[in-house]
């Protein structure tokens, strides 16, 4: 059985919905799945000033948060972050930056990694966010598994680097069928590569 870790940060719930879809797809494919959110470390004021942000923090308060062990345990890792000025959210970056001891031991290498993101605008830096995230995975020695255009849904959803979604300026645009199918495809593809790596070991 392949171990899949879905590690993500979500402020208002869009990335949470994407991560849960990946976890469901992983379980359907027969993987052992850990769904882990990254802890919220933003100052209280910006959180409480945004009703959606505050509500989501309260909704997930009792759920497990990501630890280094979740990635060490995994054969396949899916990482999700909202775009922040075309970059990785600081909450996720802080978690990744804490993995130095595991990186030094080589415990993050030779795993299959994929990624997903969302922005509030159609040209909100989705591709640069994913490519920036890949810089860290390359330092890990991880095996990047982009979806490319390996499934017909990618010609509709459109992102060859990972999966992306435009949530809209009010962060309330639900995931459409192309995004859901693209998340399923990404999950299955990353698990497939992880399985090949395991068999080759």
Q: Cα–Cα distance between 14 and 111 in angstroms, integer?
A: 26
Write out pLDDT tens, residues 100-137. Answer: 999 999 999 999 999 999 999 999 999 999 999 999 99
Q: For 173, phi and psi rounded to 5 degrees?
A: -80, 115
Which pLDDT does position 168 carry in this prediction? Answer: 85
CA atoms 75, 81, 85, 90: torsion sign: negative
In this structure, are residues 36 and 66 in contact, taking their beta carbons and an 8 Å threshold? yes
- Mean pLDDT on 158-168: 95
CB atoms within 10 A of CB 125: 18
**197: closest CA among 115, 141, 159, 154?**
141
Which DSSP symbol is given to 175? P
Total number of domains constituting the chain: 1
- pLDDT for the residue numbered 169: 79
Give the whole-angstrom CA distance, residue 22 versus residue 28: 10
pLDDT in tens, 13-35: 999 999 999 999 999 999 999 99
3-state secondary structure 19-85: HHHHHHHHHHCCCEEEEEECCCCCCHHHHHCCHHHHHHHHHCCCCCECCHHHHHHCCEEEEEEEECC
Q: Does the pLDDT of residue 186 top 80, yes or no?
A: yes
Q: Who's near 106: CB < 8 A, 6+ residues apart?
A: 141
pLDDT band at 171 (very low <50, low <70, confident <90, very high): low
| Planar angle of CA 135, 139, 143, nearest 5 degrees | 85
- Domain of residue 180: give its range: 3-200
Percentages (nearest 5) of helix, strand, coil residues in the chain: 45, 20, 35
**Closest C-alpha to 164, from 114, 201, 200, 112:** 114
pTM of the model: 0.96
- Average pLDDT on 32-43 reads 96
- List pLDDT tens digits, range 55-109: 999 999 999 999 999 999 999 999 999 999 999 999 999 999 999 999 999 999 9
User: What is the token pair recorded at 162?
Assistant: 């990972």
Residues 6+ apart with CB under 8 A from 85: 125
Domain harbouring 158, CATH code = 3.40.50.360
């Amino acid at each position: 059985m392949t171990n899949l870790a879905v590690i993500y940060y979500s402020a208002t719930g869009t990335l949470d919905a994407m991560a849960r879809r990946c976890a469901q797809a992983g379980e359907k494919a027969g993987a052992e799945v850990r769904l882990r959110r990254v802890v919220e470390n933003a100052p209280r004021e910006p959180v409480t000033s945004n009703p959606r942000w505050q509500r989501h923090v309260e909704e997930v308060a009792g759920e497990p948060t990501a630890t280094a062990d979740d990635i060490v345990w995994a054969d396949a890792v899916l990482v999700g972050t909202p775009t922040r000025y075309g970059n990785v959210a600081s909450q996720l970056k802080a978690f990744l930056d804490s993995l130095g001891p595991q990186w030094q031991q080589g415990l993050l290498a030779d795993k299959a990694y994929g990624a997903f993101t969302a922005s509030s605008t159609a040209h909100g830096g989705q591709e640069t966010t994913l490519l920036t995230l890949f810089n860290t995975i390359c330092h890990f020695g991880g095996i990047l598994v982009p979806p490319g255009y390996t499934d017909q849904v990618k010609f509709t959803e459109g992102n060859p680097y990972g999966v992306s979604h435009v949530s809209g300026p009010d962060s309330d645009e639900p995931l459409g069928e192309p995004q859901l199918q693209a998340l399923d495809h990404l999950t299955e593809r990353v698990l497939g590569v992880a399985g090949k790596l395991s068999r080759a070991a």
